[in-house]
Amino acid sequence: MKKKSYLDIYKYFKEKIIVGNLKPGEKLPSLRQISMKNELNATTVLKAYDLLEQEGYIFKILGKGSFVNKNRDFSINLDNKLILERASINKNQEENLIDFSKDEINFIKLINLDLKDIIIKILNLNNNIFEEENLKGSKNLREIIADYLENLDIFISSEEIAVSNSSQQSLNTILKLFFKKKGNITVVVSDPTKYKALNLFKERADVKGVHLLKDGWDFKNFENILKIKKIDFVYESFNYQNPSGIVWSDEKKEKLISLAEKYDFYIIEEDNDSNFYYFKKNPKPLKSFDRVGRERVFYIKDLAKCIHKQIKISYMIIPPMFREHLDLEILNLETTPENLTQKILEYLIKNFFYEENFTKIRNTIKIKYEYMIDRLKKIDDIKLMHNPGGGRSLWIKLNKNIDEKEFYYLCKKNGVSFLPGGLFYLDKRVDSKFRLSFVGLEIKEIGEGLNIIETILKNIKK
Amino acid sequence: MKKKSYLDIYKYFKEKIIVGNLKPGEKLPSLRQISMKNELNATTVLKAYDLLEQEGYIFKILGKGSFVNKNRDFSINLDNKLILERASINKNQEENLIDFSKDEINFIKLINLDLKDIIIKILNLNNNIFEEENLKGSKNLREIIADYLENLDIFISSEEIAVSNSSQQSLNTILKLFFKKKGNITVVVSDPTKYKALNLFKERADVKGVHLLKDGWDFKNFENILKIKKIDFVYESFNYQNPSGIVWSDEKKEKLISLAEKYDFYIIEEDNDSNFYYFKKNPKPLKSFDRVGRERVFYIKDLAKCIHKQIKISYMIIPPMFREHLDLEILNLETTPENLTQKILEYLIKNFFYEENFTKIRNTIKIKYEYMIDRLKKIDDIKLMHNPGGGRSLWIKLNKNIDEKEFYYLCKKNGVSFLPGGLFYLDKRVDSKFRLSFVGLEIKEIGEGLNIIETILKNIKK
C-alpha cells in the first residue's frame, strides 16, 4: 500500500470536520498517535495539521493539542449539502437515477420541436442578432410578451416588462429595490415555500411564514403579523404553489391585494404554473387582479421551467413607480440575457404559444399526473397532502413511524431521488414530507421509481 | 363627487414629488389651504402629510410647514440618470453617435471569425449540448480555462473555477459570501474605480477609497485605513485599471498580498486587460503572485469584454476554502450560463487563444491607441492623465476654466458620447475628468469624434 502523504491526512480530517464526525471544540488525535498508527513522520502529520489550521478548520493550544474550530463559517449546513448533492447529481449524469426532483417542463420536446433547428432558423432569419443591446430586453420581445399576457387577463404596457437570466435573478433584482430603500426589510412567505427563494430572503431579510390552508393563506395568522410589524412584501406562487400544490381562491387573491393597499406592502408573484392545469379551467394569476394605477404586484415567470431548462430567461412585470430604479439594478447586476436567447423566446411565443399546443401538453402531463395519484394512493405509509389538479409536483407525507432520513437515503441508494420537505420550511423542520415532481419523467420511469419506493417502505423498520 | 380621502391627498402629492413637479426643499401647501380647497377636515390632510413624512417624501419644520425631502431615495440621482441614458443610447441604435464609452473588444471580429458560423458549427458538433447541467460550468470548459491560465502564470485546479453570466454576477456572488459571514462589511477600492462595481458595493458595504499613484496604491493612505478598521476585501483591476489605465508594479502587487495576510483580508482582482498591452511585456495578474495553500485572491474575467459583448459569460477563481459556499450561492442565484455559451467559450479558447491571434489583435488596437494619444496631445484644454501603453481607455482632464457639464452636453448634442469622470469616484466628485474608450471604434470614427471635441473646445466659453 502506498504510504500516506500529508495531503491524505489533511483530507481525512477535513472531511471528518465538514460532515460533522468531528464536532466544534473536539480534540484531534495527537501527532504521535497518528504518526504511529500510519507509520508516518511526525513532521508529515504536523504539515497536515498546519494546513488545517491555516484554512480555519482547527486551532492549536500550546501543550494541549489541536481542536476543531468553532467558527466554522467555511462549512455549510446539512440542508444545504443536500441541495448541492442534488445539483451535482445532474452533473454526473447518472443514467440510472430516477429523479423526482426535476421540475422543468420541456415545452419544445412536448410539441415535437427541436431546439437546435430553432436556433439555426433564428440565426438565418436575423442578421443583426449580435449587434443590438437592450437593458430590459428587446422592445419586440417585450411587446410580444405583453400581448401574450392578455390571454391571462394581465393588461400592461411593454415598458413594465424586463427580462433577466433566471427567476432567481429577477427576484434578486426586485429584492435590491427594497433593500435600497431601507436596510432592514420584512418578507412574508408561505411556510413551506420554494427553497431557493427562501434562501435568498433569509440572507438579509426578516422572514415570516404563514400557514397555508386548502384555498390560500390563513388570513388570521397573516393579519396578526401585519398588526405587529410593517412588512415590505409578500412572495408567493398562487397557482399550484411550490411545494404544496395549493391554488389560492379568487376571493383570497383579491383579499391579499386589498390588504396590500391597506397595510402598504407589495406582492411578488412567481407564476410558472398557471398554464399547467389538468382538469378545471385555468386559475387566474394574482397579477390579473392588480389595480391599474395602484399597482401592488410584481410578477415573475421562469421560462427555463416552462419551455426548456437550457433557455435561461425569465421575465418580470414591475409596478411603474419602480421602473427607473429597476433599470439601474439591471445595469449594475448585468442580468440581461443574450440576444439569441431573447430571440428564441420571441420566436416560441409568437409561433407556438397557442391554446392547441398547451392543450396537447396538458393532456400529456395529465396522464402522468393521474398515474402518480393513482399509484401513490395505493402505497401504504404515504399520504397525499393535496390533490391539486395541476402543476408539476405532488406533496406527500410519510407515516410518522418511519424514519424519514433513513427512507430518503435508502431511496437514493436504490436510484430514486426527490426533495425532502424540510428544505421548504423556514425552520427546516423535519416533518416527514417530500416533494415528488412528475413532469420531468416518463410514465415508465415514474412506475419504476414508485415501485422502488413501495418496496423500500415495505421493508423499512417501523 | 366623492369626497377625497387622506389617501387621495397622499397620492396626489406623492406623484407630484416623484415626477418632480414638487422639487426637493420646496414647501407644500399648508393644511388649512388644502382642507379649505377640498372641503376636508384638517385632520384628514394631516393624516396624508403624516404618511408622506413616514415614507420619507417630506419633512416638517415646526411652525414653518412641510417640505419636500432632499434624500429622495425613491427617485434616482443625476449620476445614475446619466448612466441609464448611456445604456439607452445603444437601445435606440443611433447610427450617427460616436460612442467613446463602449469598451468591449470584439476578439471574434478582430481575427476574422463569424459568431453565427461558430454557433452553427458547435451545434453540429455537440449532440448533448442541451442535456448537460453543471452548476459551476462544464468540467471540460473549466479544465480548458485552467490550462489556458498557465500562460498567465496562474496555476490552479479546475475545481477552483466557476463560470457565471457576467463579471458583475461573479462579483455579486463573491459579495454574498462575505455578507453571509457578517452583515456589515468594509471594502476598499481605488478612487476612482469601475462604476458598476462601486454601485454594487455602496449598496451594502462601507466603502473606502485609496489614492492611486503611477504604480499602484498610495500604501501610506491604505495602511492608515488598515490600522483604523478591519477590512474584508479589496477590489481592483491591477493592470490598466478602469478608468485610470494605471498598471500596478510587481512590488506593489506583492506588497498587497503580504498585507492581506498580515491584516487578514481578501482581494478581488478583475482582470480583463492583462492581454491588451501594446508596447512592453504583458503585466502579470495579481493572482499569479497568490500563495498556494494560503490563497487570498479571487480572480474575475469578463469574457463579454474580451471576446464579444453578446457572449455573456464570466469566470472566477475562488480560494479553496470558499468553494462549497460558492456552489450554494451559484445555485441560489441561478447564474450558470447556458451550455451553448459555455461551448462557444470552450471552442474559442481551445482553437483561437494563441499568441499569434493576440499579437494580431494587439497590433490592430495599438494603431488606434497611438492615434488617440497623438490627437489628444494636440488638443488644447485636454490633459492626458496617463499614458498606460495598454488597455481600452484613456483618462483625460479638461482645463479647469471649462464648464465640464456644458462640455459634456455639447458633445452629446453633436453626436459624441463618453463617460464623465464623476461616475467613477466614491463621492461622485466633479473634477473635469473623462474616460474615452477607443477599442470599440474604428480609426475613422475616432478621428471624427476628436474633431468634434476639438471644435467644441475651441468655441466653448472659458
Q: How many CB atoms lie within 10 A of CB A71?
A: 9
Task: With cut-offs at 50, 70 and 90, classify the pLDDT of residue A383.
Answer: very high
ipTM: 0.84
Residues in B touching A93 (Cβ below 8 Å): 131-132
Encode pLDDT of A237-255 as tens digits.
Answer: 999 999 999 999 999 999 9
B151: pLDDT strictly greater than 50: yes
B35: pLDDT strictly greater than 60: yes
Helix-then-strand count for chain B, H and E: 17, 17
Q: Torsions phi, psi of A68, nearest 5?
A: -70, 130
Residues in B touching A270 (Cβ below 8 Å): none
Q: How many CB atoms lie within 10 A of CB B35?
A: 18
Interface membership of A36 toward B (CB under 8 Å): no
Q: Quick one: how far is CA A115 from the chain centroid?
A: 24
Look at domain A6-68 and name its CATH class: mainly alpha
Over range A388-408, report the average pLDDT.
Answer: 92
**Domain residue ranges in chain B:** 6-68, 78-105+356-459, 127-353
* Cα of B226 to nearest chain A Cα, Å: 21
What does DSSP say about strands A416-417 and B216-217: parallel, antiparallel, or unpaired?
Answer: unpaired
Q: Torsions phi, psi of B350, nearest 5?
A: -65, -40
Task: Provide the pLDDT for residue A258.
Answer: 96
Higher pLDDT, B352 or B280: B352
How many whole angstroms separate alpha carbon A25 and alpha carbon B326? 25
* Cα of B213 to nearest chain A Cα, Å: 27
Encode pLDDT of B67-108 as tens digits.
Answer: 887 654 444 555 666 666 666 544 444 567 899 999 999 999
B184: pLDDT strictly greater than 90: no
State whether A310 and B340 contact (CB < 8 Å): yes
Task: With cut-offs at 50, 70 and 90, classify the pLDDT of residue B12.
Answer: confident
A269-291 exposure pattern, b = at least 16 Cβ within 10 A, e = fewer: bbbbbbbbbbeeebbbbbbbbbe
Which of B133, B308, B310 comes nearest A91 by C-beta?
B133
- Beta bridge pairs of residue B189: B209, B235
Nearest to A386 by CA among A279, A246, A193, A237: A246
Nearest to A312 by CA among A294, A338, A332, A279: A338
Higher pLDDT, A78 or A342: A342
Mutate to test the interface with A, among B76, B338, B341, B419 (most CBs of A within 10 A): B338
Q: Any idea which of A160-164, A177-181, A419-423, B291-295 has the lowest mean pLDDT?
A: A177-181
How many whole angstroms separate alpha carbon B55 and alpha carbon B57? 6
Rg of chain B over CA atoms, in angstroms? 26
User: If you count them, how many residues does chain B have?
Assistant: 462
Q: Torsions phi, psi of A450, nearest 5?
A: -70, -30
By CA distance, what is A128's nearest residue in B? B116
Match 419636500 to its residue by C-alpha cell: B68
What CATH code is assigned to B78-105+356-459?
A: 3.90.1150.10
Alpha-carbon distance values, B371 to B361, B378, B379, B382, B414 (Å): 16, 11, 13, 15, 22
Over range A266-290, report the average pLDDT.
Answer: 94
What does the block give as the cell for B249?
508594479
DSSP states along B30-73: PHHHHHHHHT--HHHHHHHHHHHHHTTSEEEETTTEEEE-S--T
Q: How many CB atoms lie within 10 A of CB B412?
A: 15
Interface membership of B95 toward A (CB under 8 Å): no
Q: CB neighbours of B1 closer than 8 A, spacing ≥ 6? A: none
Encode pLDDT of A203-250 as tens digits.
Answer: 888 999 999 999 999 999 999 999 998 999 999 999 999 999 999 999
* Cα of B458 to nearest chain A Cα, Å: 34
Residues in B touching A129 (Cβ below 8 Å): 116, 310
Nearest to A177 by CA among A167, A168, A166, A185: A185
Q: Are the C-beta atoms of B308 and B104 separated by less than 8 Å?
A: yes
Say if residue B274 is exposed, middle or buried (CB neighbours under 10 Å; 0-12, 13-18, 19+): buried
Give chain B's mean pLDDT: 89
Task: Provide the pLDDT for residue B19.
Answer: 66
Helix-then-strand count for chain A, H and E: 17, 17
How many whole angstroms separate alpha carbon A248 and alpha carbon A347? 32
Encode pLDDT of B288-333 as tens digits.
Answer: 999 887 899 999 999 999 999 999 999 999 998 888 788 889 999 9
State whether A54 and B331 contact (CB < 8 Å): no
* Cα of B124 to nearest chain A Cα, Å: 9
Q: Are the C-beta atoms of B179 and A203 separated by less than 8 Å?
A: yes
Task: Provide the pLDDT for residue A91.
Answer: 43
A275: pLDDT strictly greater than 60: yes
B389: pLDDT strictly greater than 70: yes
Looking at A90-228, which runs of residues are DSSP E strands?
98-99, 161-164, 186-190, 206-210, 212-213, 216-217
Task: Provide the pLDDT for residue B95.
Answer: 64
Give chain A's mean pLDDT: 89
How many whole angstroms separate alpha carbon B147 and alpha carbon B157? 9
Task: Provide the pLDDT for residue A74.
Answer: 46
How many whole angstroms separate alpha carbon A145 and alpha carbon A156? 10
| Residue A237 zone, left/alpha/beta (φ > 0; ψ -120 to 50; rest) | beta
Task: Provide the pLDDT for residue B30.
Answer: 86
How many whole angstroms separate alpha carbon B124 and alpha carbon A446? 32
Task: Provide the pLDDT for residue B82.
Answer: 64
Q: Are the C-beta atoms of A340 and A122 separated by less than 8 Å?
A: yes
What CATH code is assigned to B127-353?
A: 3.40.640.10
Alpha-carbon distance values, A106 to A303, A307, B350 (Å): 10, 5, 32
Q: Torsions phi, psi of A334, nearest 5?
A: 45, 65
Amino acid symbol at A126:
N
Determine the 3-state secondary structure of A406 from DSSP.
helix
Task: Provide the pLDDT for residue B91.
Answer: 43
Say if residue A33 is exposed, middle or buried (CB neighbours under 10 Å; 0-12, 13-18, 19+): exposed
Q: Are the C-beta atoms of B176 and B334 separated by less than 8 Å?
A: no
Estimate the crossing angle of helix A31-38 against helix A42-54, to 10 degrees.
130
Say if residue B316 is exposed, middle or buried (CB neighbours under 10 Å; 0-12, 13-18, 19+): buried
B62-88 exposure pattern, b = at least 16 Cβ within 10 A, e = fewer: eeeebbbbeebebbbeebbeebbebbe
H/E stretch holding B399 reads none
How many whole angstroms separate alpha carbon A420 and alpha carbon A430? 8
Task: Provide the pLDDT for residue A245.
Answer: 96
How many whole angstroms separate alpha carbon B317 and alpha carbon B312? 17
What does the block give as the cell for B206?
462601507
- Beta bridge pairs of residue B426: none
For residues B185, B191, B194 and B199, what is the CA-based torsion angle, rounded to 10 degrees?
40
Interface membership of B322 toward A (CB under 8 Å): yes
How many whole angstroms separate alpha carbon B217 and alpha carbon B226? 13
Mutate to test the interface with A, among B74, B130, B292, B294 (most CBs of A within 10 A): B130
Q: How many CB atoms lie within 10 A of CB B98?
A: 24
What does the block give as the cell for A191?
411556510
Q: Are the C-beta atoms of B275 and B294 separated by less than 8 Å?
A: no
Answering whether pTM is above 0.90, one says no
- Beta bridge pairs of residue A60: A66
B18: pLDDT strictly greater than 90: no
Task: Provide the pLDDT for residue B34.
Answer: 84
Which of B84, B120, B328 comes nearest A80 by C-beta?
B328
State whether A75 and B324 contact (CB < 8 Å): yes
Over range A107-130, report the average pLDDT.
Answer: 95
A4: pLDDT strictly greater than 70: yes
* Cα of A182 to nearest chain B Cα, Å: 9
Q: CB neighbours of B402 closer than 8 A, spacing ≥ 6? A: B381, B432, B457, B460, B462
Nearest to A446 by CA among A394, A368, A355, A373: A368
Q: Where are the alpha helices (DSSP H) in B334-400?
A: 339-352, 355-378
End-to-end CA, chain A: 43
| Residue B194 zone, left/alpha/beta (φ > 0; ψ -120 to 50; rest) | beta
Task: Provide the pLDDT for residue A215.
Answer: 96
Q: Where are the alpha helices (DSSP H) in A114-194?
A: 115-125, 139-149, 167-181
Task: Provide the pLDDT for residue A95.
Answer: 64
Q: Any idea which of A140-154, B27-41, B110-124 has the lowest mean pLDDT?
A: B27-41
B441: pLDDT strictly greater than 80: yes
Q: Quick one: how far is CA B334 from the chain centroid?
A: 21
How many whole angstroms separate alpha carbon A54 and alpha carbon B171? 25
